């Protein structure tokens, strides 16, 4: 069995991080077997090196090794790419085609970004993992294949399973052994080593002296979070190597190549799913009032239609009273509470009450103003009760006729009857 150090040299892996060494060690241990492996880690950490190590150390090393980027293949053609298709299976299928699982028989397939696979393709892949069988698109003939599958993903698989974007049974089939590659920000001691390696490679490639960082620039390199990981670090090294005339890079120069939006360690704002209880109480009340008003309007429309159809005033009068009771309740307290709530939420003035015009003698405003005002208020109330009683007696208790005679709305008359207990 090869040592970790020899594997690093063979596959040009730079770094001495403990987690990185553990990932390479697991790759070496699992390579002689045929069990499936799932490589996890953020984008740009170098997950593609693990399946190469596994294949090169396995008994399949002389067979084919095929790497497939599942996220780069359109959903409509992914099944054909992986499993092949028969002639005429779909528009454009002018000839029979062999898929990757047929071509790589006896070898290894690396499924990069396996979390991007459509659910229908996941079902086909699960069948291959379980019994080594697959069907070409447009064919009913079952074919066998002996392929070792190594998959990789940069998404949270448990979140994908929870959202029903990835099959749970397929996840456990793929992750018989799971190998995690740590992000670059957790490998502080390896960052400068990697930068120097990339700078040396680009110096040779472009035939120019290798760039070097001063102490302040090195500290900035270590403090930066590197969201793009090794891929981003390599790109930065290439840009600086090509664009800078000076071969000694200081803090200000390096900082100009680092995206400012990612140059902080501030915590990110994580979105939360809205819950039903997040709405304010006032908004809930307003919605309830609006829905109630809509229902009241619908009832009034029905009542108007009945009046137009039957022209039965007695029946309409009875329906109208029932409707008023339904809307405002049988008790004065129910009506008052509902009316005050609606006025408060909708910011409406107090309900206007029509009153008969009573002429009163002119009084000097400077003489006994308070006493006169109090007497007028009492007499108006008594007069109002007396007028309502007389109007109801004259109209034989018919509220509609009485309200018309008094010059007030039927709703206002109903409220006054309840208020004065008539």
**Mean predicted confidence (pLDDT) in 257-279:** 52
Residue 97 vs residues 86, 87, 121, 126: alpha-carbon distances, Å: 6, 8, 17, 22
Whether the CB-CB separation of 226 and 232 falls below 8 Å is answered with: yes
User: What pLDDT is recorded for position 175?
Assistant: 93
User: What pLDDT is recorded for position 59?
Assistant: 95
- CA 263, chain centre distance (Å): 26
Q: Are strands 212-213 and 248-249 parallel, antiparallel or unpaired?
A: parallel
Strand partners, 110: 67, 150
Torsion angle of alpha carbons 173, 174, 180, 184, nearest 10°?
A: -150
**Mean predicted confidence (pLDDT) in 245-264:** 83
pLDDT tens-place string over residues 69-120: 999 999 889 999 999 999 988 888 889 999 999 999 999 999 999 999 999 9
**Mean predicted confidence (pLDDT) in 194-220:** 95
2 CB-side CA count, 13 A: 20
Backbone dihedral angles phi then psi of residue 316, each to the nearest 5 degrees: -65, -40
User: What pLDDT is recorded for position 277?
Assistant: 45
**Mean predicted confidence (pLDDT) in 280-294:** 70
Whether the CB-CB separation of 249 and 240 falls below 8 Å is answered with: yes
pLDDT band for position 6 (50/70/90)? very high
pLDDT band for position 32 (50/70/90)? very high
For the chain, what percent of residues have pLDDT higher than 90? 58
- Where b means 16+ CB within 10 Å and e means fewer, 270-290 reads eeeeeeeeeeeeeeeeeeebe
Backbone dihedral angles phi then psi of residue 352, each to the nearest 5 degrees: -75, 130
pLDDT band for position 286 (50/70/90)? confident
Q: Flag whether pLDDT at 267 surpasses 90.
A: no
User: What pLDDT is recorded for position 310?
Assistant: 63
Q: Flag whether pLDDT at 349 surpasses 50.
A: no
Strand partners, 109: 66, 149
Q: Whole-angstrom Cα distance, residue 390 to residue 367?
A: 35
Q: Whole-angstrom Cα distance, residue 34 to residue 24?
A: 17
Mean residue pLDDT of the chain comes to 82
User: What pLDDT is recorded for position 295?
Assistant: 75
Burial class (CB in 10 A: 0-12, 13-18, 19+), 45: buried
pLDDT tens-place string over residues 147-164: 999 999 999 999 999 999
User: SS3 sequence, 172-192?
Assistant: HHHCCEEEECCCHHHCHHHHH
Domains assigned to the chain: 4-182 (3.40.50.300), 193-262 (1.10.8.60), 283-350 (no CATH), 352-422 (1.10.10)
């Amino acid at each position: 069995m090869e040592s970790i150090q020899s594997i690093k040299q063979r596959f040009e892996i730079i770094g001495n991080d403990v987690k990185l060494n553990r990932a390479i060690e697991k790759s070496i241990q699992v390579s002689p077997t045929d069990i499936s492996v799932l490589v996890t880690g953020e984008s740009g950490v170098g997950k593609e090196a693990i399946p190469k190590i596994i294949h090169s150390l396995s008994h399949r090393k002389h067979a084919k090794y095929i790497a497939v980027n599942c996220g780069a293949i359109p959903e409509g053609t992914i099944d054909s790419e992986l499993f092949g298709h028969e002639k005429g299976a779909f528009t454009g299928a002018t000839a029979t085609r062999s898929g990757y699982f047929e071509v790589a028989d006896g070898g290894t397939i690396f499924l990069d970004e396996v979390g991007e696979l459509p659910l229908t393709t996941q079902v086909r892949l699960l069948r291959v993992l379980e019994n080594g069988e697959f069907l070409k698109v447009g064919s009913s003939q079952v074919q066998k294949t002996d392929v070792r599958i190594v998959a990789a993903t940069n998404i949270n698989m448990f979140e994908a399973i929870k959202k029903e974007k990835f099959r749970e049974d397929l996840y456990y089939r793929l992750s018989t052994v799971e190998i995690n590659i740590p992000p670059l920000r957790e490998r502080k001691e390896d960052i400068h080593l990697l930068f120097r390696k990339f700078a040396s490679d680009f110096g040779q490639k472009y035939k120019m002296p290798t760039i070097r960082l001063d102490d302040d620039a090195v500290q900035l390199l270590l403090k930066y979070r590197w969201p793009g990981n090794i891929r981003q670090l390599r790109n930065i090294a290439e840009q600086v190597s090509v664009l800078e005339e000076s071969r000694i890079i200081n803090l200000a120069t390096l900082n100009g190549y680092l995206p400012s939006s990612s140059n902080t360690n501030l915590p990110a704002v994580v979105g939360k799913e809205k819950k039903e209880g997040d709405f304010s109480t006032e908004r809930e009340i307003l919605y309830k009032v609006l829905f109630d008003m809509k229902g009241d309007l619908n009832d009034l429309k029905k009542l108007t239609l009945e009046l137009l159809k039957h022209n039965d005033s007695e029946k309409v009068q009875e329906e109208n009273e029932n409707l008023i009771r339904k809307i405002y309740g049988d008790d004065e307290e129910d009506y008052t509470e509902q009316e005050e709530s609606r006025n408060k939420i909708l910011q409406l003035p107090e309900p206007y009450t029509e009153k008969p015009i009573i002429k009163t003698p002119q009084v000097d405003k400077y003489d006994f103003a308070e006493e006169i005002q109090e007497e007028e208020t009492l007499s108006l109330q008594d007069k109002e009760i007396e007028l309502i009683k007389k109007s109801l007696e004259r109209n034989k208790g018919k509220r509609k006729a009485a309200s018309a005679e008094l010059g007030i709305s039927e709703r206002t008359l109903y409220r006054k009857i309840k208020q004065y207990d008539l």
